[in-house]
Amino acid sequence: MQLDLESLISQVLEQEGGYVDDPDDQGGPTNFGITLAKLSDWLGVPATMDDLKALTSVKAREIYRWMFVHEMGLAAGGAASSPKLQGLLFDCLVHHGQGNAIKFLQEAVKVKVDGFLGPKTRAALAAAEPGDLYRGVLAARIRKFGRIITNDPTQSKFAAGWNDRAADFVEETP
């Protein structure tokens, strides 16, 4: 089985929708799930709110491809190269950022959780069983949702959507 990045991107675009600026969202305004910070990273210069608002789905797709290539290297090789796990990690990358996606991997393989993909994490990933790794990442992600809401109860308004998103991956569990 091979990873279908275009289908993953389509799913994320559908879930994220267009421009959203919910004052309760800790991630700030987004367009197609792209934050101002991520757009700035991709452009290589500070982006403005007008830049974010003008973002098209075509450009969002380009950004997501760029994110996958430049930031998903975090999971290359071994059990982490499973297409289902790559799909889960891509969604985590989009929703939580690269550092948190790495932390989910680290929690799953029980190494020091620091958000950096060093040699100990890479060795643990290489030795991991793909199904266990997938379930461990998914569990870490679900725990993160709970911690977000516990630390800031205003975020509970997003719980149903977050749980729906996680449930889609539970149904795909290898």
* pLDDT 10s digits, 31-61: 999 999 999 999 999 999 999 999 999 999 9
Say yes or no to pLDDT of 20 above 60.
yes
Enter the DSSP assignment of 28: -
What's the average model confidence in pLDDT over 145-174? 90
Q: pTM for the whole thing?
A: 0.86
* pLDDT 10s digits, 85-142: 888 988 998 889 889 999 999 999 999 999 988 899 989 998 999 899 999 999 999 9
What's the average model confidence in pLDDT over 25-36? 92
CB neighbours of residue 76 within 10 Å: 12
Determine the pLDDT at residue 85: 87
Domain boundaries, the chain: 5-171
The CATH number given to 5-171 is 1.20.141.10
